[in-house]
Structure 1
Amino acid sequence: MGRHSLPDQYGAGGSDPRRPGLRRRARRRTVVIATALVLTVAGGTAVAVRGGLLSFGSSCQDDPVRLTLAVSPDLAPALQTAAKQAREADLTSDGRCVAVTVSARESYEVADTLRAGKGPDAEVWVPDSELWLQRLTADGGTSAVSTVGHVASTPVGVAMVPAAAKSLGWPKKTYSWLELAGARLRDDSLRLGAADPARSASGLLALTQLSTAAAAGEGGDTQAAALMKALSQRVSDSDGQVLETLPRDSSGTELGNPKRNQALVVSEQAAHMYNSGTDSGSSLDFFYPQDGSPRLDYPYALLDQTGLTTDESRAAIRFMSYLGDARQRRLLERHGFRTSDDAAPPDALVTRAGGSSPQPYTAAGGPASAVAVQETLGVWTITVQSARITTVVDASASMAEPVPGTEQSRMDVTKASLLQALATFTSDDEIGLWDFSTELDGDKDYRVLVPTERLGDGNGEGAQRERLSTAFGSLEPVPNGGTGLYDTTLAAYRSATGSYAKGRFNALVVLTDGRNEDPGSIARADLIARLERLTNPERPVPLIMIAVGPDADREEADRIARATGGSGHEVTDPSQIHSVILKAIVGAASPGAPD
């Protein structure tokens, strides 16, 4: 058999040394075959590794950093797509893959959860507006939320069905916010809807711009309250729900339905997505108010109170950076968002949203101040629900002390602030006034100056609003009078709970510039115990106690007020009383307010 065997050098894959050309061709063939085999094996191995069939060392997907993002529902679909693309691209942070899960959560729901001291089961929160973070941190709230950037933005304006827009001269005629709202008041047939400003940033931003403009004009705060009252009649719980109030077809059969809105306060992105899902016959036209469109700015916030690890924090920031890539910016724009506040928006985005020249779709309104937003929300709360509030004012001798930097006394500035607050209430609200010192009325430290009744009751000089205006203006410090705080607070709270008005926001507001100075009054511990017994969760009457000036005790005010589910506040300048009352009302009316 040996002589029939080929020599090793002539075996398979070998070459004949006596034939150089054949030898070169064989070498080339060997290289080609070997290369093909390597590529085939490598390709198959890659497929097998991706499928989890083979593993040569660890993949970044074996031990990813997992993150959950609680994202505003309008932005969630875009970020869900971005998270999927990040996984497919093996996005890494410090060598580990970043596995992101996006959960759509209403911004107000997450804010309420955080405000109540609970976690939303997420490491990152992307609400639709910085407003929610401002409300969280106001008045010493949670600081365990840190913003590291903004994902996108979208302006807020007014979208209308074409028939309504045409009647107002769209697109050539432009309007201010006040003029657009005024069109609703002038003509009841123009039905304007909005999302509840207590639950919607777009609703609150628009309302703040509207109320600020109204307050600067003739009629001031009273006109702003009237506008709010009219708008409150067509409010929906959320931005998504307000879109459902539009006519469901373009045939005209529902345009006359009084339950259907013809115009909505919504974001450009909401109008863009609505128009993207409808035919041209039922699309919306979009007004960009000439005095500027406030913007939703989608902050990207780390929720530090969940105990973020260093890996989670770095991975969260890495994903935020990834959202700034060109591909992700295009993704956001396809979903109707703007990715730059400085550059003009893409024409396709504006057109799809219903915008058209000469509408000022690049005009941006300046950011509203935290104080303006808080005051607007306070007025909205008492306007929509109607209020029953008794105000109790300290008339002790110390109220004659001058306010630093002014020529006015504490009482003078307090009266001016209370008169300003009075202008924000409507004729349906019930307001009353007490004052107190020590032994002001016989052996009582307090007296009722104006009983708590509807501001619209009575006529002429006998009207409740006029009686209160006169009484506020007549408040004077009692010479040598002390601060009979405890007995007064108990008596006023007993009266407020005993006259509780169902369906209204009931509250007791006590303003004092000092500590209790009545040696014959009940003790503080006894006061708190009695207040707790009077408190009924089914008939809530929060006590809002405001400590005025350097001699007042904020801690004591807060301790007493919290016995009723209310809150204590401190102002160094009595002119701040108006803002603080509105802020306290918002806090007491919020479903997420802490106990």
Structure 2
Amino acid sequence: MARLRHTLGMVATVAISSLLLASCAGLEVNIPGTDDTTNAPAAGPSDDDCTPLIVATSSEKVNLMEELGTAFKESPEAEALGTCASVFPINISSGNGAKVLITNPSTWPELDPEWYPTIWSPASSVWVDRVAAAGNSNLVADPTYFTHTPIVFGIPESMARALDYPSKDISYADLESYIADEKGWAALGKPLWGSFKIAKTNPNTSTTGLSVILTQAYSASKKDKDLTVEDVKAAEDFSRTFESGAIHYGDTTGNVLTTLYNATQGGTEGSSYVSAVALEETSLFWYNKGNPDSHTVQPGEQLTPPKEKLVAVYPTEGSMWSDNPAVVLNSPWVTAEQKTAGAAFMQFLGTKAAQEILPNYGFRPLDETVDVSGSLNASVGIDPAKPTVTLPKPEADVVSAALDQWTQIRKPSAVLEVIDISGSMDDPIGDGRTKLEGAIDGAVSTLNNFRSTDHIGVWAFTTRIESEELGENLVPIYDFGPLKGNKEAIGSAIKDLIYSNRRGTPLYDAVSVAYDYMLEEAEEGRINAIVLLSDGSDTDSSISLDSLLVKLNQKTEGSNSSPVRIFTIAYGDGADRDVLNRISQSTGGQMFDASDPKRIQDVIQSVMNNF
């Protein structure tokens, strides 16, 4: 089979132990055109007379794969098969796809076996290498590389103009100096914009996050190849300053961009949330189209572009690339006919007909003769002539050193967990546990995310309880303060919640008290946050929702304040998602959906990836 060969420097390694099963969100698979309540497709592979090719891919490529599949049907590669083949893309995050293939490849989550994939196309070969490193035989040896996208920084257009970009180049060293300057934007002539803040994803779960910490080391060492472990060590102070500018470590770029999009659409100054976002260029493309989380666009869906677009900044040191491999699985459910058809589809991906489709979805073709200017241009904040420097893949020990260093220098956190223990938490979740037992297991399992220098506290709320410290309806399960060596003690205190009395849901009162408390405890230089888990709607608060939102919106981020973000978890079908989302948005936080309560442990892990 003809294959496009991998010619790019890419962040990939066979032995990234820190990247193993810490994958971000739960193992949820989405099938285009499915019913949200049943996850049952209106039509599946069994309704098609052709050989089905199920392509498991990251969300930003689902629409792309649909069009590539349509074009494939009319291609010489398909005609040579003698029988027809149909492409059916499904959406699963790259890390979660790797997790399934490593741990239990015969049980793809929430899918009928007819939707088990024939082809896997994650965002980066780092995930393919990870599966191979686990000794898994479910992959054909040689992936096909058919498209790529560089890692860039997205800066709001007004801020880019203030930095005189693109007339003036911007480097990682420049960004580090903007973060380090206590005057923030005031030093750049914009005193009302506060401090210079960046958004980064967690490198233990995100290819983009990993690319950024490696590029920081490249920048500090003034190298564009041959990065060493010694270079990473020498870059510690530079990288520490970079980390100090992080607002929080997003579990996905899509969540960060959605928060920014909602803030700007609502009239909030973008500078109050973030100054620069590390992301893939294709994510910036979709953000500027009005699709901040790069979700699968449904037929008839109208996208609304943001009020202010992001401009792609290509740092002068160079960029790493996400190389988007595709590989035919060698799994028992993949038939000989599917393997043959899959090989033909792979061959098609390298043809001019397929390569010309890629720019319409924000991706760079590998065929350099394809004109991308009609799609990838200044109107969507992209310069197709950049980046001019490609940074190569470091050796495995260098990547491991960078990840180990990040664990030590990442921005410290201060997190107050507030857990709803109302009566509905006794409801079963279908796996032999109650909601409360699931929440306890999830909270305890994530304690290893924190370092001894991080601050943490745990509160519980319901009616007809009280404490001297917090008053009615709230009890401290573990007093807020430095974690030190107390993980076991905190875990034990959380487990004791199983014996608690459970009654009403004073949700707004709990948020109000927790927010006031954390504003007093918040420190400059930390990620100060509240993690709120609730499975219902407010029933017993003295403060109204309107009054609560007014309070939360009064404290905005600037150069002299210590903001507190609220990350909410909507737990089960009864949770008031709209209210929890508004609470999060008002503080620059995010809401996480645990509609399926069995996924609560994965969802809590996804939340904790922010810290």
Equivalent in the alignment of 1:74: 60
Preserved contact between residue 94 and residue 123 of structure 2 (Cα < 8 Å): yes
Alpha-carbon distance between aligned partners in 2 of 1:306 and 1:242, rounded to the nearest angstrom? 38
Stretch of structure 1 that moved more, 323-332 or 215-224: 215-224
Preserved contact between residue 263 and residue 270 of structure 2 (Cα < 8 Å): no
Equivalent in the alignment of 2:244: 230
Equivalent in the alignment of 2:136: 142
2:61 partner amino acid: L
1:355 corresponds to 2:355: no
Alpha-carbon distance between aligned partners in 1 of 2:405 and 2:232, rounded to the nearest angstrom? 18
Question: Structure 2 stretches of 5 or more lacking a match?
Answer: 1-46, 109-115, 185-193, 223-230, 291-303, 414-449, 456-481, 492-604
Sort the Cα spacing of 1:177 and 1:345 in 2 relative to 1 into closer, same or farther, 3 A.
Answer: farther
Sort the Cα spacing of 1:379 and 1:307 in 2 relative to 1 into closer, same or farther, 3 A.
Answer: farther
Return the offset for 1:257: 6.2
Deviations 1:62-118 (A, max 9, x none): 852212111111112111122234346793453121121100111011112222243
Sort the Cα spacing of 1:195 and 1:373 in 2 relative to 1 into closer, same or farther, 3 A.
Answer: same
Sort the Cα spacing of 1:237 and 1:82 in 2 relative to 1 into closer, same or farther, 3 A.
Answer: same
Equivalent in the alignment of 1:196: 202
Equivalent in the alignment of 1:265: 278
Preserved contact between residue 207 and residue 322 of structure 2 (Cα < 8 Å): yes
Preserved contact between residue 50 and residue 84 of structure 2 (Cα < 8 Å): yes
Deviations 1:190-225 (A, max 9, x none): 221123222221221122211343467798253255
Identity of aligned residues (%): 24
Equivalent in the alignment of 2:97: 110
Secondary structure of 1:305's counterpart equals coil
Sort the Cα spacing of 1:116 and 1:250 in 2 relative to 1 into closer, same or farther, 3 A.
Answer: closer
1:372 partner amino acid: V
Preserved contact between residue 201 and residue 253 of structure 2 (Cα < 8 Å): yes
Equivalent in the alignment of 2:561: none
Sort the Cα spacing of 1:117 and 1:225 in 2 relative to 1 into closer, same or farther, 3 A.
Answer: farther
Sort the Cα spacing of 1:428 and 1:233 in 2 relative to 1 into closer, same or farther, 3 A.
Answer: farther
Sort the Cα spacing of 1:195 and 1:313 in 2 relative to 1 into closer, same or farther, 3 A.
Answer: same
Equivalent in the alignment of 1:101: 88
Preserved contact between residue 195 and residue 239 of structure 1 (Cα < 8 Å): yes
Equivalent in the alignment of 2:588: none
Return the offset for 1:342: 5.2
Sort the Cα spacing of 1:335 and 1:165 in 2 relative to 1 into closer, same or farther, 3 A.
Answer: same
1:124 corresponds to 2:119: yes
Return the offset for 1:270: 1.5
Equivalent in the alignment of 1:167: 162
Matches within 5 A, 1:315-354: 315-340=341-366, 346-348=372-374, 349-354=376-381
1:255 corresponds to 2:281: no
Question: Structure 1 stretches of 5 or more lacking a match?
Answer: 1-60, 388-424, 431-456, 458-495, 504-588
**Which of 186, 198, 212 does residue 206 from structure 1 map onto?**
212
Sort the Cα spacing of 1:202 and 1:501 in 2 relative to 1 into closer, same or farther, 3 A.
Answer: farther
Alpha-carbon distance between aligned partners in 2 of 1:352 and 1:384, rounded to the nearest angstrom? 35
Sort the Cα spacing of 1:251 and 1:66 in 2 relative to 1 into closer, same or farther, 3 A.
Answer: closer
Return the offset for 1:168: 1.8
Deviations 1:507-564 (A, max 9, x none): xxxxxxxxxxxxxxxxxxxxxxxxxxxxxxxxxxxxxxxxxxxxxxxxxxxxxxxxxx
Alpha-carbon distance between aligned partners in 1 of 2:126 and 2:247, rounded to the nearest angstrom? 24
**Which of 390, 393, 415 does residue 367 from structure 1 map onto?**
393
2:453 partner amino acid: D
Return the offset for 1:299: 0.4
Preserved contact between residue 355 and residue 366 of structure 2 (Cα < 8 Å): no
Alpha-carbon distance between aligned partners in 2 of 1:344 and 1:331, rounded to the nearest angstrom? 10
**Which of 62, 65, 70 does residue 51 from structure 2 map onto?**
65
Return the offset for 1:337: 0.8
Equivalent in the alignment of 1:512: none
Secondary structure of 2:60's counterpart equals coil
Alpha-carbon distance between aligned partners in 2 of 1:144 and 1:280, rounded to the nearest angstrom? 42
Return the offset for 1:246: 1.8
1:308 corresponds to 2:294: no
Alpha-carbon distance between aligned partners in 1 of 2:370 and 2:67, rounded to the nearest angstrom? 25
1:369 partner amino acid: E
Secondary structure of 2:364's counterpart equals coil
Stretch of structure 1 that moved more, 273-282 or 301-310: 273-282
**Which of the two has greater helix per residue?**
1
2:282 partner amino acid: Q
TM-align CA RMSD: 3.8
Matches within 5 A, 1:455-494: none
Secondary structure of 1:304's counterpart equals coil
Sort the Cα spacing of 1:67 and 1:183 in 2 relative to 1 into closer, same or farther, 3 A.
Answer: same
Matches within 5 A, 1:520-535: none
Preserved contact between residue 123 and residue 306 of structure 1 (Cα < 8 Å): no
Alpha-carbon distance between aligned partners in 1 of 2:102 and 2:248, rounded to the nearest angstrom? 28
Alpha-carbon distance between aligned partners in 1 of 2:60 and 2:81, rounded to the nearest angstrom? 31
Preserved contact between residue 58 and residue 93 of structure 2 (Cα < 8 Å): yes
2:286 partner amino acid: M
Secondary structure of 2:259's counterpart equals coil
1:84 corresponds to 2:37: no
Equivalent in the alignment of 1:274: 287
Equivalent in the alignment of 2:453: 428
Alpha-carbon distance between aligned partners in 1 of 2:233 and 2:486, rounded to the nearest angstrom? 35
Alpha-carbon distance between aligned partners in 2 of 1:345 and 1:386, rounded to the nearest angstrom? 45
Return the offset for 1:336: 1.2
